[in-house]
Amino acid sequence: MKIDSAKKCDIMVRNKRKWHPKFIEYTKFIAKHPNYNGIPEKYKNDGSVRWVVTGNSKLGKERAYWWDKQVKNLNVSNRAEVARKIHPKELNGMKPCQTCGKELSINYIYPNKNTLKKINELSPISFDSYDKSIIKIFKILKSIIGNNIYIKFREIFKIPSNINDDEKSFLNYIIKNRIKLSPGVMSNAPDRFDGFHSYNACCREKEDTGRNKDNLKRYTQDRRAYENWAEGNWNLANRLMGEYKRYEEEIICPMCGKKARVTADHIGPISLGFTHRAQFNPLCKSCNSAKNNRMTLDDVKILIQAEKQGNTVISWHSKKLWDHLKTEINSDDDALKLSKIMRSHIHNVLCVFAIINESKHFIFLKQFLKPEYSFYDYKFKDFDPLKLENLKIISNPISNKNKKKNAERYIRISQESLEEYLLKKNRKQKYSKDDAISLKIEELIENLDIQEYDKGKELLNEIITKLSEKAISMFHSQP
């Protein structure tokens, strides 16, 4: 489609935002395209495209029904995948921004912020966010630094050794698995006709007031909590992490003794099955990164003490394993061994969750998520990362559109993480060798197929118990 950028229009959306001419032409093309046949009330009485609807309105619900029918018809996981799948091939995956007209891809082809920073550290030239795809960046860097690019990209994108050092293999692996990549525009069905936000990533910070720099400093969303299906008040924990991010003063790091900006280190890593709770160690960035998901004996003692004080520190799917082994940890070596065992266990749990989701039973898994935590706002008084005993937390229930979007985002990321989990090599291997567990998983799916959710929950608990027993046995068999 060739868009005439010379055309002008004074169409305004509800917030008086002026639409760019390229975007106006795009809306007309999309509305006429056969891929969107059947969407209710395409046009207003004046003949213009009814691009925006409110999700909770009568028309919004009718359009939501249309999108959900496409999910089933196309055999995909969610509306976002439908939006990408039906986007006209004539556009090559490109969509103009409503605000500035810049065309960005709807697909996951751009390095995310942290990944781009790492790329720029190795590059003699600096790349801007959403300016070039990972394909173009790779080709440019290869022409500058030669075959050394394979070593650098293998490290940045954690590319496994079985992937050959050739351009096609590297790029196929990165793009297919969406490793550390972002799309140029996020999905938003049924609120927008094409299923995407009207503004692209180029104007997201300006148009989405919740994402301006000051607000982002206050609110750090830790995706790992969603990706690892961690229990705990994720909203409160995220808010407190934002306070660490906003804290400007340098501290003496308790681990290395150097003066540096503070970061929030989980006491009980969520990647090992612990809860995402508002309790952190203040560490410098280097020590936090070096510690990664390894526990020390002191960490285990702190977690046990927190439990004695009535706090929940471990998520339900890892509780049996933790309860059985926590009293057997007597040294840092024991704590490290426990860390490895718990990481193996949470891997197996996520594999089971991923198979349930792959079998189209995410609705069953949703009962283990807590979107209701989103509908509270938190403020803090007397925040000092070294004197957290003085911290005062003020909570207020609140219900607005942003809070609802935050709850939906939490659910969406939790599901998307499962969709991506089994894509990586050998992710099914560990539990598939156990016939008893495999049979239980088959029985679970059969019960979910006939919506026997109570029986399904009972079977899932049996599977988690068997996985825990295998992990306990593994712990005791290791020196």
Block mean pLDDT (10 aa), the chain, length 479: 33 54 96 96 93 85 93 89 95 96 95 89 86 94 92 90 90 87 90 93 70 47 82 92 84 85 88 92 83 88 94 96 96 93 93 92 94 91 87 89 84 86 54 74 94 94 94 90
Q: Where are the alpha helices (DSSP H) in 228-275?
A: 234-246
CB 443 within 8 A of CB 469: no
CA distance 66 to 79: 10
8, 229, 447, 457 from 454: Cα distances, Å: 58, 20, 9, 5
Predicted TM-score (pTM) of the model is 0.59
CA distance linking residue 29 with residue 32, whole number of Å: 5
Mapping DSSP onto H, E and C, the string for 186-202 reads CECCCCECCCECCCCHH
Partnered with residue 263 across adjacent β-strands are: 283
**Distance (Å) of CA 145 to CA 190, 261, 349:** 45, 34, 42
Among 58, 2, 31, 34, smallest CA distance to 192 is for 31
Phi, psi values for residue 399, rounded to 5°: -135, 115
From CA 12, how far away is CA 142, in angstroms rounded?
Answer: 45
Domain definitions of the chain by residue range: 21-106, 108-182, 211-477
pLDDT at position 369 is 94
CA atoms within 13 A on the CB side of 469: 9
**Is residue 317 within 8 Å of residue 349, measured between CB atoms?**
yes
Residue showing tokens 């942003």: 402
Only one residue has tokens 């807590």, namely 370
The confidence score (pLDDT) of residue 424 equals: 57
Helices marked H in 53-122: 58-73, 79-86, 113-122
